[in-house]
Amino acid sequence: MSFLKKHVIGDFSQIVLFSIIFLFFIQTLSDLFERIWAFALPKAGPDMNVLGLLVLLLPLILLAFRKKVPDLALLISGEIIILARLVEPFMTGMWIYIFAGLSVGSFLVFFPGFITRIKNREEKTGFDFGIAMASAVGLSILFRTAGVSKDISQYRGWQVIGWMLGIIASIILITLYLKLQNKETEKAKPMEEETKASFGKVLGLTMGIFGIFVTIWFTFMSPTVISRWTEGNYIGIVIGILIMLGAFIGLKLWKPDLVNKLKPWMLWVWNGLFTISMTLTVLVHQIFFISSSTTYPHVAPATAWYQQIPLVLMIILSPILYLDFTLLTKELIKLKPSPTKMGVSFTIGGFFIIFMIFVQIFPNIWAFLPPVSTIFRDMYWLAFFIPGLVISLSILLVKKSTLTFEKLSKKLNTKIILSTVFGLMLVGTIIGGVVTEPNPNYSASGKTSLTIMTYNILQGLNKTSDWNYDGQLEIIKAVDPDILGLQECDPTRISGGNLDVVRYFASALNMYSYYGPKTVTNTFGCAILSKYPITNAYSFFAYSDMEQIGSAQAQITVGTTVFNVAVHHPAGTTNEIVREQNSQMLEEINGLTNVIYMGDFNFFPYSQAYNETLSTGLIDSYEQFYGNPAINLTESVAYLDPATDLYSAIDHIFLSSGTVVSAAQYIAIGHSDHPAYWCEIVI
């Protein structure tokens, strides 16, 4: 307790408090929008739940405090941030939405309100905020890496980590509140200094802060996002980001005067280069599709080494985010802005987050909300260029004097403790990343059959739009497939909580994996998982008028036999488009041997597309085993065919002619909005 009193709520209480508060903010902001998207996903478009984004406008509450934000208001809003975040992981459905929204909205009241109460402590506070933001990102990466993209501090028994952090933050908040109360009773409170800050400058600095919030949320809170953009090495990306975080924190603690050597033009160049490298990291991996069907099919080119140059530069330059956060908050505090100005500027910042959300998701749903959404097709890079540009412009408002930190010094014990804590975070993250990497070592010796499974997992959600990774894993583990094809497995963007379901499944199942198109191409994703080595994997694009269709294809070697595996998920506004997409895929696998062609095909048995598939010489595995295609199934495992009112399967596994099927089964809907389907073949 003495250590807690002396250090955690003494020497560096502000760093500890805001490390936790910033972490909780990016966690709940991610959860809030993921919930909104999950509720909208079954409707293929926005619904009333999008109004939940209005919590981002709660800074308007500050307009009620013209002169000063009361200490009690700060205490209450701060405690709501913490309590709502701690309760949220226990919730399901709409309650996640509510508690995440409470935490996010409270942060956007507490943080600007706190800034208005800081007087003549801008150097220390700006310094602490910069380290706190870097620490929050480091904690997020640690928790996400240990949980294989799921944040373990929000998951099962590991939630005790979140509760420990929340209790510490709550104690610090209460302690700070009591200190303020004691000071005010000891002596008369001086008159508040009249603010003369220009609203334009307050707004400009605030927009830079929100640009940093957006960039961290979209990019750095979960490095698997970057890995899925680029097909870059996940562990290498994690280590690179953490080394740069460590370098920033180390230099700020031990050599804070180095900032004094920076000239304003150096800061501008650094920001510009970071914005360009971040934009190019996305842009060089994008594919620019043409609306005409005559340009398809399209095979994604292999990733070249030089395409990773912007990625390396972005990681090296990334500490600018935390330096910018230090300088922007320090400059803002120096202005002594009124609660009214902060309330309005943070509300506009909330609008900016809402705008950036749509800039990021429209490329993925470009056909759903015409004519606006269609403008954003293949414009995924814009979601990273805009916040980078906003940060770069806002830094122009920082005065040269703000770059000096001559008065700042930390006690040696404080430096050692903070450095040790971050060092442990770095080591823990690396260990977590290495330990959770799959290491398949299955033998094909004596193997006489293969179990093949296809599953549309709805981004890892169940029919009530709750996360259900573990329920889906139960089904997969019960079947124990040798080869697994997944569809709708691309939640590695803000709409899916920046989670990587393919990485999570591959780790839990100890399988090799290939995720189909890079997420920057904005498809709904296909993946191939296998107990045996995957080679010659690539992505294949078909024409669509609804969403970009990307399929995954690879070779899997079992003993001496090479299987050609394709996972497909056609979709369009008409059956004719679905049929054309299937035809293009059939042309791609035409002439190959040992074909396994599976997926959610969105066509029924006896449909034209189904018959055309069989006409190529492929067989329907279910029909091969039972003598009839999967039609007239029970309602729990199939879909209503509006043409015949029969319940018919649209999830199929087609095989090369002559393949012997020794078992086949559909598994009931519930853990996803589709049944899982598996078959066993003789080899």
Residue 360 CA to residue 6 CA, distance in Å, equals 44
Residue 218 CA to residue 322 CA, distance in Å, equals 15
On the question of pLDDT at 222 being above 50, the answer is: yes
646 pLDDT band, cuts 50/70/90, is low
Fill in the amino acid letter for 72.
Answer: L
* Strand 561-568 relative to strand 595-600, pairing: parallel
Fill in the amino acid letter for 306.
Answer: Y
SS3 529: strand
Top-level CATH class of 2-435? mainly alpha
On the question of pLDDT at 195 being above 60, the answer is: no
- Encoded tokens for 65: 């405090």
Domain covering 440-682 assigned CATH 3.60.10.10 in the classification: yes
On the question of pLDDT at 337 being above 90, the answer is: yes
- Encoded tokens for 230: 């680029």
Fill in the amino acid letter for 440.
Answer: P
Q: Determine if residue 534 is left, alpha or beta; phi over 0 gives left, psi from -120 to 50 gives alpha, anything else beta.
A: beta
Helix axes 199-215 and 339-361, enclosed angle (nearest 10): 40
344 pLDDT band, cuts 50/70/90, is very high
**SS3 helix, strand, coil % of the chain, rounded to 5?**
60, 15, 30
Residue 270 CA to residue 264 CA, distance in Å, equals 10
What are the tens digits of pLDDT across the range 346-372? 999 999 999 999 999 999 888 888 888
Among 97-111, 123-137, 318-332, the minimum mean pLDDT is found in 123-137
The number of beta carbons lying within 10 Å of the beta carbon of residue 10 is 13
Mean pLDDT over 396-423 rounds to 76
Residues in the chain: 683
Residue 538 CA to residue 564 CA, distance in Å, equals 12
Residue 317 CA to residue 626 CA, distance in Å, equals 60
Q: Locate tokens 């069907």: which residue? A: 293
pLDDT score for 626: 93
193 pLDDT band, cuts 50/70/90, is low
8 pLDDT band, cuts 50/70/90, is very low
* CATH 3.60.10.10 location in the chain: 440-682
pLDDT score for 84: 98
Q: Locate tokens 């509006």: which residue? A: 642
Q: Locate tokens 């598939």: which residue? A: 613
Residue 471 CA to residue 494 CA, distance in Å, equals 22
Contact 438, 510 (CB under 8 A): yes
> H or E element: which one contains 389?
helix 382-394
DSSP state of 614: H
Peptide linkage before 371 cis (omega within 30 of 0) = yes
On the question of pLDDT at 411 being above 70, the answer is: no
Residue 552 CA to residue 487 CA, distance in Å, equals 10
Mean pLDDT over 674-683 rounds to 95
pLDDT score for 7: 47
Residue 93 CA to residue 579 CA, distance in Å, equals 36
CA distance to 208, 331, 342, 458, 624, per residue, from 197 (Å): 17, 11, 11, 50, 77
The number of beta carbons lying within 10 Å of the beta carbon of residue 157 is 7
What are the tens digits of pLDDT across the range 289-322? 877 777 788 899 999 999 999 999 999 999 999 9
Residue 165 CA to residue 145 CA, distance in Å, equals 18
Q: pLDDT over 70 for what percent of the chain?
A: 92
Phi and psi for 334 in degrees, rounded to 5?
-60, -30
Phi and psi for 654 in degrees, rounded to 5?
-100, 145
* CATH 1.20.1250 location in the chain: 2-435
Residue 318 CA to residue 551 CA, distance in Å, equals 33
Q: Locate tokens 């012997």: which residue? A: 660
410 pLDDT band, cuts 50/70/90, is low
Mean pLDDT over 477-488 rounds to 97
Residue 92 CA to residue 579 CA, distance in Å, equals 38
DSSP state of 548: B
User: Between the ranges 180-189, 489-498, 630-639, where is the mean pLDDT highest?
Assistant: 489-498
* Strand 512-515 relative to strand 676-682, pairing: unpaired
Question: Which residues are registered as beta bridge partners of 548?
Answer: 523
* pLDDT: which is higher, 679 or 288: 679
Q: Locate tokens 């390396």: which residue? A: 312
CB-based contacts of 517, cutoff 8 Å, min separation 6: 300, 523, 525, 526, 539, 541, 548, 550, 552
Q: What is the dihedral of CA 487, 488, 494, 497, to 10 degrees?
A: -80
Fill in the amino acid letter for 396.
Answer: L
On the question of pLDDT at 449 being above 90, the answer is: yes
Fill in the amino acid letter for 284.
Answer: V
Q: Determine if residue 70 is left, alpha or beta; phi over 0 gives left, psi from -120 to 50 gives alpha, anything else beta.
A: beta
Sequential DSSP letters for 134-181? HHHHHHHHHHHHHTTTS-GGGSGGGHHHHHHHHHHHHHHHHHHHHHHH
pLDDT score for 213: 98
pLDDT score for 189: 47
SS3 672: coil
pLDDT score for 475: 95
